[in-house]
């Protein structure tokens, strides 16, 4: 796998929206592996550096979410990257907040970014789905995903999850998706309580 894409909307107005958690994940990966500054190319921002033993591309489309496929397709064509070598990180309303799932291929499930990508490169790419929860009513989905994460969400699960993804993304890029999911879950699991010693219990 060579290309990691984070989905979201461009500009500071949307930077902390739930819909932008994919872009936030790519920024976390860039910080963890000390990528150089992103360059403006392919209707987006791109950077290249090693992750593990190989050089990888990070890409942040700067089209709006509904046109993400235009930018992703340009990068894939230029670098001749097959869909199976592309990882797309995006928000998922059908997963509870803080849950992460990985799959290759499948449908768009109503996600406008994926719906834009699929016709242009095909569906056979990897998806890292980050749960942001559902507002409970279909009509509220759009305003919900365009809201900022609350401060307690950021510290409670968003930042820890993004850090875990950044730290362990090398497993997914090296072809071990199950190990990647397991390691992210392990890092986020609450520490087991240490049983009191007999002396402490009297």
* Contact criterion met (CB below 8 Å) for 83 and 76: yes
Catalytic status, residue 19: yes
In 115-129, which positions are buried (b, 16+ CB within 10 angstroms) versus exposed (e)?
A: bbbbeebeeebbbbb
Give dist(CA 126, CA 196) in Å, integer. Answer: 45
Give the residue from 125, 40, 33 showing the smallest Cα distance to 88. 125
Query: Catalytic one among 19, 90, 111, 134?
Result: 19
What are the Cα distances from residue 146, in Å, to 28, 91, 116, 172?
A: 20, 11, 18, 28
Tokens for 98, please give them. Answer: 């803080």
Give the residue from 94, 81, 124, 120 showing the smallest Cα distance to 106. 124
Number of alpha carbons in the 13 Å side-chain half-sphere of residue 64: 5
- What end-to-end distance do the CA atoms of the chain give, in Å? 57
> Which residues form the catalytic set?
19
């Amino acid at each position: 796998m060579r290309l990691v894409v984070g989905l979201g909307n461009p500009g500071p107005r949307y930077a902390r929206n739930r819909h932008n958690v994919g872009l936030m994940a790519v920024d976390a990966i860039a910080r963890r592996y000390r990528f150089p500054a992103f360059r403006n190319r392919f209707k987006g921002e791109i950077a290249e550096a090693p992750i593990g033993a190989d050089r990888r591309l990070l890409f942040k489309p700067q089209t709006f979410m509904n046109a993400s496929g235009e930018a992703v397709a340009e990068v894939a064509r230029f670098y001749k990257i097959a869909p199976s070598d592309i990882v797309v990180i995006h928000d998922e309303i059908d997963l509870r907040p803080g849950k992460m799932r990985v799959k290759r291929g499948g449908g768009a499930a109503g996600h406008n970014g994926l719906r834009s990508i699929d016709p242009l490169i095909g569906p056979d790419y990897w998806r890292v789905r980050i749960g942001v929860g559902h507002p409970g009513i279909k009509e509220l989905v759009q305003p919900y995903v365009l809201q900022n994460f609350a401060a307690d969400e950021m510290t409670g699960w968003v930042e820890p999850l993004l850090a875990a993804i950044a730290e362990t993304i090398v497993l997914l890029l090296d072809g071990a998706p199950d190990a990647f999911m397991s390691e992210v879950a392990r890092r986020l699991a609450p520490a087991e309580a240490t049983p009191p010693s007999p002396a402490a219990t009297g």
